[in-house]
Amino acid sequence: MPKHVDADARRRHVVDALFRVVVREGLQRTSLRAVADEARLNIGSLRHYFASQQDLMRFAMQSMLDRTESRLLEHVERIGDLGGHPRPEQLQLVAGFLAELLPLDEHRRAEVTVFLDFNTAARTNPAFGDLSRQAAEGTRKLARRALTRLDAAGTLRPGLDIDIETERLTALLDGLSLRAVLHPEILNPRACGEVLLTHLGDLSLSVGTPDSAH
């Protein structure tokens, strides 16, 4: 009797192998053969699931976006109502939420590395443009969601322009990700987290402000 193969599990296995190859070698030097070798599959088996390197890369990028979204939704559920927490704790919770996009551990570093290489490729390859835009819009929506939740909890300083602050926070997240992947000896995970938390603190009311103290 033929051995049953879980196609979804096999695809996830291949994507994990792809991530490892891209982290080591870079996207431009990643081939179907290299991914097949990393996944310990023959090239024919790999082509059964992905007809080309482009198909594999699109699936990998979509998988990464789906995984990140799933983690973020779980994080939102854990946070609950920000208004029920003291202001310093609110900032810590939101910083932890946003940190899901930063390369603060091996798993997230691999995702961000693939993300950066993919977006570089998307600049000249229209086949990747839609996913690149989806990722960029996702980061912006996440930043806006974090700020609006803090604002609703009465934590942000009055008069802030949420549109402008969304762009500033998005740029900070992108910049931290890029610097931490390219130069981890300059910007380590701890420093990434501290910079993010400090930025959010700068947007908030000072502790002890009468009209928003908890």
Better pLDDT: 106 or 82:
106
- Band of residue 213 on the pLDDT scale cut at 50, 70, 90: very low
Question: Span 120-130, mean pLDDT?
Answer: 90
Q: How much of the chain exceeds pLDDT 90, in percent?
A: 44
- Band of residue 3 on the pLDDT scale cut at 50, 70, 90: low
Q: How far apart are CA 48 and CA 161, in angstroms?
A: 51
Per-residue confidence (pLDDT) for residue 212, from 0 to 100: 42
Tokens of 77: 């559920």
Is the per-residue pLDDT at 113 higher than 70?
yes
Q: Average per-residue pLDDT in the chain?
A: 87
Per-residue confidence (pLDDT) for residue 206, from 0 to 100: 65
Q: What are phi and psi of 42, to 5 degrees?
A: -80, 160
pTM of the model as a whole? 0.84
Tens of pLDDT, residue by residue over 58-94, are 888 888 888 888 888 887 777 777 877 888 899 999 9
Question: Span 37-51, mean pLDDT?
Answer: 88
Distances, alpha carbon 201 to alpha carbons 107, 118, 140, 160, 189, in Å: 27, 32, 19, 13, 18
Tens of pLDDT, residue by residue over 186-202, are 999 999 999 999 999 99
Tokens of 75: 């994080």
Q: How far apart are CA 71 and CA 181, in angstroms?
A: 21
Per-residue confidence (pLDDT) for residue 1, from 0 to 100: 37
Axis-axis angle for helices 129-152, 53-79 (nearest 10): 10
Q: How far apart are CA 68 and CA 155, in angstroms?
A: 26
- Band of residue 210 on the pLDDT scale cut at 50, 70, 90: very low
DSSP calls for 107-165:
HHHHHHHHHHHHHHHHTT-GGGHHHHHHHHHHHHHHHHHHHHHHHHTT-BPTT--HHHH
Who's near 16: CB < 8 A, 6+ residues apart?
Answer: 39
Per-residue confidence (pLDDT) for residue 73, from 0 to 100: 83
Question: Span 134-145, mean pLDDT?
Answer: 92
Which has the closest alpha carbon to 130: 61, 56, 28?
61
Per-residue confidence (pLDDT) for residue 2, from 0 to 100: 43
Q: How far apart are CA 165 and CA 169, in angstroms?
A: 6
Better pLDDT: 130 or 22:
130
Question: Span 117-139, mean pLDDT?
Answer: 91
